[in-house]
Amino acid sequence: MLFFILKIFINILIIGLFLYGKLVPHKDKLIHPFKGYFEFFEKIFLPIFELIKTKVKPFQVGVGLAVDMTQIFILIILLIINYII
């Protein structure tokens, strides 16, 4: 039962990570209930992003174009944890 709840929580974090990445540029335009959800996931992910950014450099995909790997790194970790459980 505990593993089932943990799997659900990790799946919610994965969905939250996706939505967080999409909404970061528009966070000042969010309406009240969605702003609260956004801030919840921001409190979870922002400290992790800051920690990982010091270790993982952006991945160069073109001339003057790089991909921030922090979100992908966290997604991979969450997927591995979800698979193991």
Task: State the Cα–Cα distance between residues 14 and 12, nearest whole angstrom.
Answer: 5
In the Cβ-directed half-sphere of 30, how many Cα atoms lie within 13 Å?
A: 17
Q: Which residue type, as a one-letter code, is found at position 81?
A: I
Alpha-carbon gap, residue 7 to 81, rounded angstroms: 9
> Tens-of-pLDDT digits for all 85 residues of the chain?
888 999 999 999 999 999 999 999 999 999 989 999 999 999 999 999 999 989 888 889 999 899 889 999 999 999 999 999 8
